[in-house]
Amino acid sequence: MRILSMQPKGFRCSAKNVGIKDSSLDFTVITSDVPAAAAAMFTRNRFCGPAILVGREHVSDGRLQAFVVNSKNANVATGELGLANVHEIVDLVAEELSIRPQDILPSSTGVIGRQLPMEKLRQGISGIGQQLCYGHLEQAAQAIMTTDTHPKMHCCRVGNATLVGIAKGVGMIEPNMATMLAYFCTDARIDAQQLRDCLRDAVEPSFNMVSVDSDTSTSDTVAIMANGLAGDVDLAEFRRALRDMCLRLARELARDGEGATKLIEVSVEHAASVQQARRVAKSIVNSPLVKTAIFGSDPNWGRIAMAIGKCYEQDTIVPEKIDIAFGYIPVYRRGCAVDEGHLSALKNYLDHDEIVIRVSLGLGEVGARAWGCDLTYDYVKINGSYTS
């Protein structure tokens, strides 16, 4: 985790254990001293949790003043009681912070189908208004984790302003808007519509191009608050900074995928459209056969060819125009396998902990990248006993 001393002005945080599952941090509040411009994107999973429903409603006016997140329990498929519990948490936190309930964005992540332990949460929320401290967002990054092996956080300067981002999620990951949560805080002054545009522009090539296991979570949320306390910034510079931070966090999520030993980056070039490039990249990074081959350092490029070919809706794809390489070692070039003399070099390359698969479709001038990880015995072990 990369933690810098810089923190955006006017943001306070409290992270604590309320006992949802174990003794690790499992509840956090991040709040701005003043109402902030805000934007968010959420999962498209139709089985989404009540926190998503409430969050969509609360951020719809482009204003927030706090994020409230619990881990270890997703509060999904919990009916009317689950929804009532979200509203109660929001109301309790609003009272502690002396802010409007509708200015709070709630999130929950963890096991699906279990009611929140409300008595524990009520006790944990009591007095939290007095426990908030400036900074300490690295503790919030820990409190939102479930099966992550380490917290993810990045900071940067944009003119006189600071941007901080935290994220979690290493299983049930294929965002479609990422179980994935990401929160950004900045003291830059940016209006809500510009913030929405910047966030959408940043999420599409980053979180929406990550896949650990092709499963779109019921709880995916990416949200940002900009409280304006550092004044105006160059919008183009801010847009680039947010996009770069999302890309960094997305790569970290993929690298830390459940049980993962290798980061996989798929780079698709010379596509007819960005949509085509993204579709092919995702098809490759999602293939269990590709992922297991990478785990075993097996240079079975035929699995990559299969993953490209099963994008059958992309009728412009022509095998005779395609090139495939591991790193910069070619394995297939425009209709023919490349000489097997590369086998030793391929095996050595695939023993690395970061693997790049390069594909040229030979159709145009645009491309896309996707990130994922290998599929290991530990992924099965983790998810075979997740609720126990």
383 labeled part of a ligand binding site: yes
User: How close are the terminal C-alpha atoms of the chain, in Å?
Assistant: 28
Could you say which of 78, 147, 162, 179 is catalytic? 179
Q: Residue 168 annotated as binding?
A: yes
Any catalytic annotation for residue 31? no
> In 10 A of CB 272, how many CB atoms?
16
- SS3 category, 123: helix
Beta strand pairing call for 181-189 and 329-333: unpaired
Is the Cβ–Cβ distance between 224 and 11 less than 8 Å?
no
CB count within 10 Å of CB 359 equals 25
Of 97, 231, 249, the residue nearest 159 (C-alpha): 231
| 217 has binding-site annotation | no
Cβ atoms 287, 307 nearer than 8 A: yes
d(C-alpha 128, C-alpha 96), whole Å: 7
Which residue's entry shows tokens 């000489």? Answer: 339
- What is the rounded CA–CA span in Å between residue 264 and residue 358? 11
Find the length of the chain. Answer: 388
Under a CB-based contact definition with an 8 Å cutoff, are residues 173 and 249 in contact? Answer: no
Of the candidates 217, 140, 148, the residue with the CA atom closest to the CA atom of residue 184: 140
> Is 149 marked within a binding site?
no
Torsion of CA 173, 174, 175, 181, to 10 degrees: 10
Cα–Cα distance for residue pair 137/60, rounded to 1 Å: 25
Give 236-299 as a DSSP string.
HHHHHHHHHHHHHHHHHHHHT-TT---EEEEEEEEESSHHHHHHHHHHHHH-HHHHHHHHTT--
Binding residues: 146, 168, 179, 258, 383, 388
Binding residues for substrate, as ranges, are: 146, 168, 179, 258, 383, 388
Q: Where in the sequence numbering do the catalytic residues fall?
A: 179
